[in-house]
Chains A and B, each alone.
Chain A
């Protein structure tokens, strides 16, 4: 009965590694990998959900933080576009020894620049405005008393809150229009009515308040101004009558050409002393700066992502430990190390991608709800969505790499033994 022990026989020495007749490992299709990757998730759905929570929260935060300011910016831009972003402001910059100012017919001069569709001017009277003559002129709030063209509101897209604006017919009368904030700081909430006149003291003269402007949509510094007729300012305040600010409108594509001509037109002596700007730009830049000041929240999102990644790595380590018999079986069925690695890496990536998609969806819904609540346009930051899901996938890949490598390195016999 001891035959079997002695069966040596000579054979040719072959190098089977080079033998083309040896079978190649089968290739898994993408669907195979996906099915393998979701097998573990389907068997423990609650654990899958819990382990993706961190990623989901991180992604939701990230999307909220990005999408909400975008909505608010979009709202602002829409408003600016509706009001026309094609407003140009030219302001004389007085120099220490040189009182730079524009001629009294500056707006008319600007209107002769080709393509200018509308223009208006303001002149700083440097007068002091008070609620009554009982108030010490030294203790007044810093409101600008400006002589204004009657068409100012049409040019800067302003509107009235109360009463009427200055008219060509009232140029010479002692009437005033208050900016929204100016009215507030003077304590005036109504325009004059015949039964209840409202008056302010400008310089030493009484002016009747005929209107209060609504907050200016673009030129918000005008909210702190008091507007007078050009002739009234000259006669009642003994003011020289030269303009200091000119607003013009021009079609968008001609804007830069018009801007370049404003300085030489209004102050040919030295155009460099004319500060030309687009008020809407400043506004948009200010809002953009506010929008990016959410670094803290972005940091928070990054931390949640990190925690999420750790959660997934942890889940995967446990899964690999628990599923050693399965790994052993698959190796016995002919899975290569690479295929085992692919399965577990795929599982980690699927987990994090699901978390990322869930979080992104929640974030988008939240941002949309907030935007609707604020009456802002709903913005879907698709590149951000793509990037965040991509980021989640990367987190999953990094988190799953080590567990997957461990699973692949597990010797089949050891894996099978741990039943």
Chain B
């Protein structure tokens, strides 16, 4: 063991997958013996062609799906044996998801959309609004707090979704093609925002098939046909 390894063993990785295989009924192997360790504070791009297994990996890392084989550790804890409600609680405390298509509720304004991210992790009602407003401020949307999604641009919508993902102060942000539905300039500023959040301590995992996006992150993992081809910039 090197000295570095000893330190790493003491501070658990934010997210770790060990020997994870995911096969779907019908014989599709979406992930094939994948191991990956993402330390606290890392900002990792997972790149790969369409169908390479990026989303599958993100879902498994985010405990939304269970691997067929292998282990997923969140903040050093193995998640395999946990009951569904425990996993849900872990997600609500430690993870923040950002999706390509925002997934905002059309009936709720920006603040309430963000506040709905606090619904499931025990934040008392009276604090949710204030926390949501603070999160909107962090993503630069304080002035749009009462706008409904249809009154926002695509970039602003993704910012609302990001505010929702970070309102409770998660350990890790898992973003699946967060710039995929945005033009390149808007996408670039959304990426900038995510990197700022990473700078202030949140671990960041971004899935993208866009090399330009991947290039702006300090670390990259390349995936093809469910296998990791290579990784660079990861702290061990």
A residues with CB within 8 A of B: 1-9, 11, 14-17, 19, 22-29, 31-32, 36, 39, 42-43, 325-326, 328-339, 411-413, 416, 419
| Residue in A23, A334, A337, A411 with the greatest tally of chain B CB atoms within 10 Å | A334
For the complex of A and B, list the 8 residue pairs with the smallest distance between their C-beta atoms, beginning with the closest. Answer: A334-B92, A1-B230, A26-B122, A4-B231, A334-B120, A412-B64, A329-B103, A25-B89
At the interface with chain A, which of B78-86, B185-193, B199-207, B210-218? B78-86
CB distance from B159 to the nearest CB of A (A): 16
The number of inter-chain residue pairs (CB within 8 angstroms) is: 155
Neighbouring B residues of A334 by C-beta, 8 Å: 88-93, 95, 120-121
Distance of B30 from chain A, by nearest CB (Å):
11
What chain A residues lie within 8 Å of B91 (beta carbons)? 331-334
Select from chain A the residue with minimum beta-carbon distance to B100. Answer: A419
With A26-B122, A331-B88 given, is the CB distance from A3 to B103 under 8 Å?
no
Given contacts A31-B125, A413-B59, contact A16 B35 (CB under 8 A): no
Residues in B with CB closer than 8 Å to A9 are 5, 9
12 contacts across the A-B interface (CB closer than 8 A): A1-B232, A16-B79, A16-B81, A23-B90, A23-B122, A24-B122, A25-B92, A26-B119, A32-B119, A325-B101, A335-B88, A337-B88
- Tell me, rounded to whole Å, the shortest Cβ–Cβ distance linking B13 to chain A: 9
A1 to B229, CA, bound (A): 8
Q: How far is the CA of A43 from the CA of B85 in the complex (A)?
A: 28
B182 at the A/B interface (Cβ < 8 Å)? no
In the complex, which of the residues B37, B79, B99, B232 contacts A7, with contact meaning CB atoms closer than 8 Å?
Answer: B37
Tell me if B19 counts as interface (CB < 8 A to partner A). yes
Q: Once the chains are docked, how many angstroms separate the CA of A384 from the CA of B19?
A: 63
Asked if residues B97 and A4 are in contact (CB atoms below 8 Å), the reply is no
| Bound CA–CA A416/B119 (angstroms) | 19
- Of the listed residues A3, A26, A331, A338, the one surrounded by the most CB atoms of chain B closer than 10 A to its CB is A26
- Whether B19 pairs with A8 at a CB distance below 8 angstroms is yes
Apart from A8-B35, A412-B59: 20 A-B pairs, beta carbons within 8 A? A1-B231, A2-B229, A3-B231, A5-B228, A5-B231, A7-B236, A11-B9, A16-B81, A17-B81, A19-B77, A23-B93, A31-B125, A326-B105, A330-B120, A331-B91, A334-B88, A334-B89, A335-B120, A337-B84, A419-B101
CB distance B86 to A412 under 8 Å?
A: no
Q: Which residue of B lies closest to A3 (CB)?
A: B231
- Interface SS of chain B: mixed
Q: Which residues in A have their C-beta under 8 angstroms from that of B221?
A: 4
Q: Given the known inter-chain contacts A43-B107, A333-B92, please indicate yes or no for A15 contacting B81, CB distance below 8 A.
A: yes
Interface residues of B in 1-30 (CB under 8 A from A): 5, 9, 16, 18-19
CA distance A4 to B35 in the complex (A): 7
Closest A residue, CB atoms, query B13: A7
Q: Which residues of A contact B89 (CB under 8 A)?
A: 22-26, 334, 336
- Whether B92 lies near A23 (C-beta < 8 A) is yes
How many residues of chain B get a CB closer than 8 Å to chain A's CBs? Answer: 56
Closest chain A residue to B176, Cβ basis? A416
Please, which residues of chain B bring their CB within 8 A of the CB of A31?
A: 125
Say yes or no for B137: interface residue by CB 8 A criterion. Answer: no
Contact A4 B37 (CB under 8 A): yes
- Provide the bound-state CA to CA distance between A126 and B66, in Å: 98
The residue from A4, A413, A419 contacting B65, defined by CB atoms under 8 A apart: A413
Given the known inter-chain contacts A8-B18, A332-B97, A416-B99, please indicate yes or no for A27 contacting B122, CB distance below 8 A: yes
Q: Which residues 92-143 in B have Cβ within 8 Å of A in the complex?
A: 92-93, 95, 97, 99, 101, 103, 105-108, 116-117, 119-123, 125
- Residues of A contacting B106 in the complex (Cβ-Cβ under 8 angstroms): 43
Closest chain A residue to B78, Cβ basis: A16
B236 touches A333 (CB 8 A): no
Measured in the bound complex, the distance between the Cα atoms of B120 and A28 in whole Å is 7
Out of B18, B77, B99, B105, name the residue touching A22 (CB < 8 Å).
Answer: B77
Pair B85/A337 contact, Cβ less than 8 Å = yes
Find chain B residues with CB under 8 A from A39 CB: 105, 107-108
CB closest residue in chain B, given A38: B107
* Known contacts A24-B122, A339-B120; is-contact A7 B16 (Cβ 8 Å): yes
Contacts of B19 in A (CB 8 A): 8
- Report Cα–Cα, A339/B85, bound state, in Å: 10
Q: Which residue of B lies closest to A8 (CB)?
A: B18
A-side contacts of B236, CB under 8 Å: 3, 7
Residues from chain A with a CB closer than 8 A to the CB of B121 are 23, 26, 334
Partner of A333, one of B107, B108, B116, B125: B116
B155 interface hit (Cβ, 8 Å): no
> Does B119 contact A333, Cβ atoms closer than 8 Å?
yes
Interface residue? B67 (CB, 8 A): no
Q: How far is the CA of A29 from the CA of B125 in the complex (A)?
A: 8
**A3 contacts across to B, CB distance below 8 A:** 231, 234, 236
Residues of B close to A25: CB separation below 8 A: 85-86, 88-89, 92, 120, 122
Q: Which residues of A contact B82 (CB under 8 A)?
A: 16-17, 22
Closest to B79 in A: A16
Docked CA distance A228–B140 (Å): 103
A204 to chain B, nearest CB (A): 92
How many whole Å from A39's CB to the nearest CB in chain B? 6
B62: CB under 8 A from chain A?
A: yes
